A = this chain, B = another copy of it.
């Protein structure tokens, strides 16, 4: 069986696991006070070109979104997101559970455009009744988006400018950031992300770690008593080393970027195969997620040998499916899949 179901099918990258093994019996203080966590933070600060960055480690994407967003919003504020944004669709209402509205705006290929955002904000403050409405208190974007698409540096700058104008933070969900940074066509670097965003997270779970996301506050803007707030949401690990050690490994000798590149190389080859065989792309994604329209019978046949994801029904006889590569994908498996296509 060939696995192209998602980018979290395996455990950890061998170097990440290696570091966990190597440090396993060291006696370390808990709650992130250990030297590996400290070292990981320092390495991330360097990789971001942001010496003042304040960094926290959490275990998963929904948890991170909930902790960060609820801590940064005032109680009368909501978070703006594209209609396809993860927080508004596939996080089971975690933002609402924390008492805040996700304000959904139209999306284009998973992205929120500066125009859409500016229009919304100017119209909100133009409404005489806005005291009876949820105040926009943050902008959430994901990069890559849920459709694997990427913002350009110019687009990030534009969104950032609008956020500055309205004095609300720009937050980037980087669950798959490693795959975005490794894309051929992108002009966005990690320091760019740190420059344009007020807060973002570097995804580990989907990019080589067993679990873990690194939250980066870039403007000395960590919410007060953020550790207590993490604790309040049940998100503070007693063995903080678990995420600290892993990120220390991921940011040693560029491992995080290397894992990204493997996913992209295998994805590019796979896209080539689909293209060569005349498959229909649902949309052009420059990263590790490939969305293909399959005729339903063909889909069932392929399922016998390959694991991939159902995305959505297109029409009565066609379905959109997703093939994902990852840090762990082997080129030989891509070739095997190519042979099956």
Q: Does A325 contact B (CB under 8 A)?
A: no
Q: Does A5 contact B (CB under 8 A)?
A: yes
**6 A-B pairs with the lowest CB-CB distances in the bound complex, closest first:** A63-B234, A11-B24, A92-B231, A93-B134, A9-B27, A3-B27
- For the complex with contacts A93-B232, A97-B232, A234-B235, 9 further pairs of A-B residues with Cβ separation under 8 Å are A3-B27, A8-B239, A9-B27, A20-B210, A64-B234, A76-B229, A135-B225, A205-B237, A205-B239
Interface residues of A (CB under 8 A from B): 3, 5-6, 8-12, 14, 17, 20-21, 23-30, 59-67, 70-71, 74-76, 78, 89-94, 96-97, 99-102, 104, 126-129, 131-135, 205-206, 210-211, 224-225, 227-229, 231-239, 241-242, 307, 310, 312-313, 328
* Interface pair B234/A62, CB less than 8 Å apart: yes
Smallest Cβ-Cβ distance to A233: which chain B residue: B234
* Interface pair A242/B210, CB less than 8 Å apart: yes
List chain B residues, Cβ under 8 A from A94.
231-234
| Bound complex: CA A171 to CA B134 (Å) | 23
How many identical subunits does the complex contain? 4
Given contact pairs A17-B20, A242-B210, A229 touches B25 in the complex (Cβ within 8 A): no
List chain B residues, Cβ under 8 A from A97.
75, 99, 232-233
* Interface pair B228/A76, CB less than 8 Å apart: yes
Distance in Å: Cβ of A103 to nearest Cβ of chain B: 10
Distance in Å: Cβ of A148 to nearest Cβ of chain B: 17
Distance in Å: Cβ of A240 to nearest Cβ of chain B: 10
* Interface pair A237/B211, CB less than 8 Å apart: yes
Distance in Å: Cβ of A312 to nearest Cβ of chain B: 8
Quick one: which of B21, B135, B205 contacts A17, CB cutoff 8 A? B21
Residue among A67, A97, A236 with max Cβ neighbours from chain B (10 Å): A97
* Interface pair B75/A242, CB less than 8 Å apart: no
List chain B residues, Cβ under 8 A from A63.
233-235
List chain B residues, Cβ under 8 A from A25.
10-11, 328
User: 16 A-B residue contacts at CB 8 Å?
Assistant: A14-B24, A21-B21, A61-B238, A66-B234, A93-B100, A96-B134, A97-B233, A127-B312, A128-B310, A131-B228, A133-B228, A135-B228, A205-B237, A211-B237, A211-B238, A233-B233
Quick one: which of B17, B23, B234 contacts A24, CB cutoff 8 A? B17
Distance in Å: Cβ of A3 to nearest Cβ of chain B: 4
Distance in Å: Cβ of A138 to nearest Cβ of chain B: 14
Distance in Å: Cβ of A208 to nearest Cβ of chain B: 11
List chain B residues, Cβ under 8 A from A225.
74, 76, 131, 135
* Interface pair A9/B28, CB less than 8 Å apart: yes
* Interface pair A11/B93, CB less than 8 Å apart: no
Residue among A11, A20, A129, A206 with max Cβ neighbours from chain B (10 Å): A11
List chain B residues, Cβ under 8 A from A74.
224-225
| Bound complex: CA A322 to CA B94 (Å) | 37
| Bound complex: CA A129 to CA B238 (Å) | 13
Distance in Å: Cβ of A105 to nearest Cβ of chain B: 12
| Bound complex: CA A241 to CA B206 (Å) | 14
List chain B residues, Cβ under 8 A from A134.
92-93, 96
Smallest Cβ-Cβ distance to A205: which chain B residue: B238
